[in-house]
Amino acid sequence: MEILLAKDMGFCWGVRRAIDIMEKAAAEKGKVTSLGPIVHNPQVVRDLKGKGVRITSGPLDGASGPVAITAHGVGPQMLEEARSRSSEVVDTTCPIVTRSQRWARKMADAGFTVVVFGDPDHPEVKGVLAWAGRNALALADAARIPDALPTRLAIISQTTQSPERFALFVSQLMQQRLGKISELRLINTLCHVTSSQQGAARDLAREVDVILVVGGRNSANTRHLLEVCREEGSTAYHIESADELRGEWLQGLQRVGVTAGTSTPDSAVETVVRRIQEIAQELAGAASAN
Ligand code: SF4
């Protein structure tokens, strides 16, 4: 069985930067309270906990010491609250997300209704919406476009969406609403790292019998990798760790592909590759015994 890795996958510079900043702050101050998981990967979160990074998902309930904003960023109200209730704010927001937030604010100030293409429940999208004024809305697909939509629209995307899906959303919105739109601004806020990894996953998906996508269950970019692999017609599985890998998925296959989300550490990918090798040996042993 041959194991092929995607040409571009795993930790991005935005996640590495956020982890470095968080680790440095925890080492200097003793502990840091992160507003939510720093990235959507349980191994990374566990590792950081061991280094003094406490995570809160609710309000700043008596946090002492520095408070950290995660790579996904937050809205202005949350930023203000963190500043007023803690001794120091450690901001690890990815610069690509910050750019998206700035565009959201700029477009709202210019009188546009901001439409964010993405998952309304994702922390990055919630944060961007909070910068985009009261009328902004997030839409996961064109089927959810409300009937009453203002006529001046600015469209931006969650950074981790695929370029193909963003383009489809925009074209569907145009088809549905062209007669009612007086002005449309389209701002490309996609992350080039995730776009590149999605392209590499598509290429790999065409070459292999099955593709394993390694990453946190709640990781948006990992889920998008899975979607692009399936869009290529491939059999693809999303696993968080090597323990979830099942022998029957690999039975009788020649080529297995592996890719990983931007919040997946190299160690998780290495463990999955070792487990595939073990399973391949078990399957070969069972075949020769029969
Ligand atoms: S995936 Fe892109 S936007 Fe997200 S943290 Fe990494 S570099 Fe930043």
Among 120, 133, 129, residue whose Cα is nearest residue 161: 120
Ligand 1 pocket, 15 CB below 6 A?
yes
pLDDT of residue 159: 96
**pLDDT, tens digit (0-9, with 9 covering 90-100), for 28-66:** 998 899 998 888 888 888 899 999 998 887 666 666 789
**Ligand 1 centroid to residue 68 C-alpha, Å:** 17
**pLDDT, tens digit (0-9, with 9 covering 90-100), for 201-246:** 999 999 999 999 999 998 889 999 999 999 999 999 999 999 999 9
Q: Read out DSSP for 150-172? A: -SEEEEEE-TTS-HHHHHHHHHH
Among 223, 255, 251, residue whose Cα is nearest residue 239: 223
**pLDDT, tens digit (0-9, with 9 covering 90-100), for 168-202:** 999 999 999 888 899 999 999 999 999 999 999 99
Instruction: Name the average pLDDT for the chain.
Output: 93
Please check the confidence at residue 13 and state whether its pLDDT lies above 80: yes
pLDDT of residue 68: 93
Please check the confidence at residue 89 and state whether its pLDDT lies above 90: yes
The atom number, within ligand 1, closest to the CA of 12 reads: 6
SS3 148: coil
Phi, psi of 207 (to 5 degrees): -95, -20
pLDDT-derived band at 122 (thresholds 50, 70, 90) equals very high
The atom number, within ligand 1, closest to the CA of 194 reads: 1
pLDDT of residue 199: 96
Across 80-108, average pLDDT: 94
Please check whether residue 195 is in contact with residue 240, taking contact to mean a CB–CB distance below 8 angstroms.
no
Please check the confidence at residue 104 and state whether its pLDDT lies above 80: yes
Catalytic residue (one of 88, 124, 232, 244) = 124
pLDDT-derived band at 285 (thresholds 50, 70, 90) equals confident
Global model pTM greater than 0.85: yes
Please check the confidence at residue 129 and state whether its pLDDT lies above 90: yes
